[in-house]
C-alpha cells in the first residue's frame, strides 16, 4: 500500500489549501475516513483534520483567514471550518483520560501517537501531511488496509469499553470491505454486545441503517444474529427475517436495484404494522421513515399489478413492496403514474347534484380505469357513461 496519499479530487481543493494555510501545514494532518477511503480508491464523504493547535487558536486563525468557525463539539476540541467545497471538522489532538463507554473525558495532547492510540481501528488512525501527502502510520494501518483487515488498535475489549458504538462500527467496516475475520474482535463484540443497551438510540439507529445501506451486508448481519449482537438492538428479527433479508438482497442485485436501508429494515422485521411502528419509535426514526416502515410492514404477500400498485402508493414505495415480495420491478422503469382525466365538474355537468354521489361515481370510474390499465380519455367517457347508467 502506498505510503503517500494518492491525489484525489478533494486533495486539490482550493478552499482546503486556504484552510491549510490558515492553520499552518506543520500543525495539522488529514485523518480518519478521508485518508482511509482515498487509499481504498473509494468516494470520500467527510473530511476530518487533526491539529496540535488549541481550539481557541484554531478559531482565531480561521477567523483571521476569513473562514467561518463553528465550535461544533468544543468540549471535545472540535471546530467546524465552513468552506464552500464542504465543511471540515478540525479536532485538537486528544487523549482519553476516562470514559464510561458513552462519553469520554478527554485532555488535549501534543503527541500524534497519543491521538492515534485513542482511535478505534488501525485503518482509521492514518494521518496524511497536507503538504507532502506523506502518511504517518503508528499501528500498521496501511498493511491492514491492504489486507482488508478491520483491526482494533490494541485491546479490542478496552477499545469497545471506551465507546460501545464501536461494536457496530466494527461490523460496518467488516461488511464494507473486511476480507478476513478477527476472532478476538468477533468475540469481544459478542461479549460486550449487551453494553449497547446504554447507547443513545439515535446513534444505534444511524449505525444500523449505515450497515443496511451497504451493497451486501447479509452475511455480516447473519453473523451478528448468530452471535447475539443483533438481538440487543433488534430483538424483533429472528432466523426467518435473516433469511428474508438474504433473499431480498439477492433479488435487489438481480433487479439492479439500489440498496435502501429502510426496505432492508422492513425485511428484518416480521410483517406486522404495530411492531414496525414500535421499532420505528424506538429507533427514533423520522416521521416519514416511520410511515414508510409501517406501510412496508403492511405488505400482503399477494402479488399485485405493478402499475396499479405504483398509482396508489407512488413508484418508490411500489418498487420497495415488489422487491420485498420477490417480484420484478421492470414494469416501473421510466413509468410515471398518469393523471386521472375525469373531474367532478364533468359529472355535475351530466346532471348529478354536487355532493357525495359525485365522489362515489368518481371513485367507481377511477377503480375501473385502474383495473383496465389506465386507458385514454375516450374510454374514461365510456366508463362514466356505464357508471351513470348503473
Ligand atoms: N467511535 C468512534 C468514532 C470515530 N473514531 C475516530 O474518528 C474518526 C472519524 O470518525 P467518523 O467521521 O465517525 O467516521 P469515519 O471513520 O470518518 O468513517 P465514515 O465517515 O465512513 O463513518 C474515525 O476514523 C476514527 O479515527 C473513533 O475512534 N471511535
Of all protein residues, whose CA lies closest to atom 10 belonging to ligand 1?
A: 32
Q: What DSSP character marks residue 84? A: T
- Could you say which of 2.40.110.10, 3.90.78.10, 1.10.3720.10, 1.10.110.30 is the CATH number of the domain covering 155-234? 1.10.110.30
User: What residue owns the CA closest to ligand 1's atom 15?
Assistant: 33
Would you state the pLDDT for residue 390? 79
ipTM, interface predicted TM-score of the complex: 0.97
At 383, which helix (H) or strand (E)?
helix 377-389
Burial (CB count within 10 angstroms: exposed 0-12, middle 13-18, buried 19+), residue 183: exposed
DSSP 175-195: HHH--S--HHHHHHHHHHGGG
Question: What 8-state DSSP symbol labels residue 135?
Answer: E
pLDDT score recorded for residue 375: 95
Residue nearest to atom 14 of ligand 1 (CA): 33
Query: What's the pLDDT score for residue 259?
Result: 97
> 73: pLDDT confidence band, cut at 50, 70 and 90?
confident
pLDDT tier, 6 (very low <50, low <70, confident <90, very high otherwise): very high
- Top pLDDT among 85 and 353 is at 85
Q: Ligand 1: which atom is nearest the Cα of residue 163? A: 1
Which atom of ligand 1 is nearest the CA belonging to 34?
17
CA–centroid distance, 278 to ligand 1, in Å, is: 30
Mind giving me the DSSP string for 51-62?
Answer: ESS-HHHHHHHH
* Kind plus residue range of the DSSP H or E element containing 79: strand 78-82
Dist. CA 183–CA 196, nearest whole Å: 20
Kindly indicate the confidence band of residue 1, based on its pLDDT and cuts at 50, 70 and 90: low
Residue 55 above 70 pLDDT? yes
Cα 137–Cα 140–Cα 146 angle in degrees, nearest 5: 105
Ranges of H-type helices in 227-286: 230-233, 239-255, 261-267, 273-282
Question: How would you class 313 by CB atoms within 10 Å of its CB: exposed for 0-12, middle for 13-18, buried for 19 or more?
Answer: middle
Q: For residues 265-269, give the mean pLDDT.
A: 97
Environment class of 14 (CB within 10 Å of its CB; exposed 0-12, middle 13-18, buried 19+): exposed
- The pairs formed by 306-315 with CB atoms below 8 angstroms and a separation of 24 or more are 306/331, 306/332, 307/331, 307/332, 307/335, 307/337, 307/373, 307/374, 308/370, 308/371, 310/335, 310/337, 311/337, 311/338, 311/370, 311/374, 312/370
The residue-averaged pLDDT of 68-81 equals 93
- Going from the Cα of 37 to the center of ligand 1, the distance in angstroms, rounded, reads 12
Which of 48, 96, 166 has the most ligand 1 atoms within 8 A of CB, as the residue to mutate?
Answer: 48
Distance 131 CA to ligand 1 centre (A): 23
Note the pLDDT of residue 110. Answer: 85
Which H or E run includes 106? strand 104-108
Residues of the chain with CATH 3.30.460.10: 1-147
Nearest CA to ligand 1 atom 21: 33
Q: Are 10 and 4 in contact (CB under 8 A)?
A: no
Cα–Cα distances in angstroms (integers) from residue 22 to residues 15, 107, 164, in the given order: 11, 24, 36
Asked whether the predicted pLDDT for residue 106 surpasses 80, the reply is no
Question: What is the average pLDDT across 104-123?
Answer: 89
Ligand 1 first shell, C-beta below 6 A: 32-33, 45-46, 48, 119-120, 124-125, 163, 165-166, 169
Q: Quick one: average pLDDT of 43-65?
A: 96
Each residue of 301-352: pLDDT tens digit? 777 899 999 999 999 999 999 999 999 999 999 999 999 999 999 999 988 8
Residue 109 pLDDT level (bands cut at 50, 70, 90) = confident
Distance CA 255, CA 338 (A): 24
Instruction: Specify the CATH number of the domain 1-147.
Output: 3.30.460.10
* pLDDT given at position 103: 72
Across the chain, mean pLDDT equals 94
Chain segment 129-168, per-residue pLDDT in tens: 999 999 999 999 999 999 999 999 999 999 999 999 999 9
Contact of 238 with 299, CB cutoff 8 Å: no
Q: Which of 248, 213, 385 is nearest to 319 (CA)?
A: 248
Report the nearest atom of ligand 1 relative to the CA of 210.
22
At 352 the pLDDT is 87
Report pLDDT for 243. 97
Q: How confident is the model at residue 99 (pLDDT cuts 50, 70, 90)?
A: confident
CA of 121 to the centre of ligand 1 (A): 9
Task: Give just the sign of the alpha carbon dihedral 99, 104, 106, 110.
Answer: positive
Amino acid at each position: 500500500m502506498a505510503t503517500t496519499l494518492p491525489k484525489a479530487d478533494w486533495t486539490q481543493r482550493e478552499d482546503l489549501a486556504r484552510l491549510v494555510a490558515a492553520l499552518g501545514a506543520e500543525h495539522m494532518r488529514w485523518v480518519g475516513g478521508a485518508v482511509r477511503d482515498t487509499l481504498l480508491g473509494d468516494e470520500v464523504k467527510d473530511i476530518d483534520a487533526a491539529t496540535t493547535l488549541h481550539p481557541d487558536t484554531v478559531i482565531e486563525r480561521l477567523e483571521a483567514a476569513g473562514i467561518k468557525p463553528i465550535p461544533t463539539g468544543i468540549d471535545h476540541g472540535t471546530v467546524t471550518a465552513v468552506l464552500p467545497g464542504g465543511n471540515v471538522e478540525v479536532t485538537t489532538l486528544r487523549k482519553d483520560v476516562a470514559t464510561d463507554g458513552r462519553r469520554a473525558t478527554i485532555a488535549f495532547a501534543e503527541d500524534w501517537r497519543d491521538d492515534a492510540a485513542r482511535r478505534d481501528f488501525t485503518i482509521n488512525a492514518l494521518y496524511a501531511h497536507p503538504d507532502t501527502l506523506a502518511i504517518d502510520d503508528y499501528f500498521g494501518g496501511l498493511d491492514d488496509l491492504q489486507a482488508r483487515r478491520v483491526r482494533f488498535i490494541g485491546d479490542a475489549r478496552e477499545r469497545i469499553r471506551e465507546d460501545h458504538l464501536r461494536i457496530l462500527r466494527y461490523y460496518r467496516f467488516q461488511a464494507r470491505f473486511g476480507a478476513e475475520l478477527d476472532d478476538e474482535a468477533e468475540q469481544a463484540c459478542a461479549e460486550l454486545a449487551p453494553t449497547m443497551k446504554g447507547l443513545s438510540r439515535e446513534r444505534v439507529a444511524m449505525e444500523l441503517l449505515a450497515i443496511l445501506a451497504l451493497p451486501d451486508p447479509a452475511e455480516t448481519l447473519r453473523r451478528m444474529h448468530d452471535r447475539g449482537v443483533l438481538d440487543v438492538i433488534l430483538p424483533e428479527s429472528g432466523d426467518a427475517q435473516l433469511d428474508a433479508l438474504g433473499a431480498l438482497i439477492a433479488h435487489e442485485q438481480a433487479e439492479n436495484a439500489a440498496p435502501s436501508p429502510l426496505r432492508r429494515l422492513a425485511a428484518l422485521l416480521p410483517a406486522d404494522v404495530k411492531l414496525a411502528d414500535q421499532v420505528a419509535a424506538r429507533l427514533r426514526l423520522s416521521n416519514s421513515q416511520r410511515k414508510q416502515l409501517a406501510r412496508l410492514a403492511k405488505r400482503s404477500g399477494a402479488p399485485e399489478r405493478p402499475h396499479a400498485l405504483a398509482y396508489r402508493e407512488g413508484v418508490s414505495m411500489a418498487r420497495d413492496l415488489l422487491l420485498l415480495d420477490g417480484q420484478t420491478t421492470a414494469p416501473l422503469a421510466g413509468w410515471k403514474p398518469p393523471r386521472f382525466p375525469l373531474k367532478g365538474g364533468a359529472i355535475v355537468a351530466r346532471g348529478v347534484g354536487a355532493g357525495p354521489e359525485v365522489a362515489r361515481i368518481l371513485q367507481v370510474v377511477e377503480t375501473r380505469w385502474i383495473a383496465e390499465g389506465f386507458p385514454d380519455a375516450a374510454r374514461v367517457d365510456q366508463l362514466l357513461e356505464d357508471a351513470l347508467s348503473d
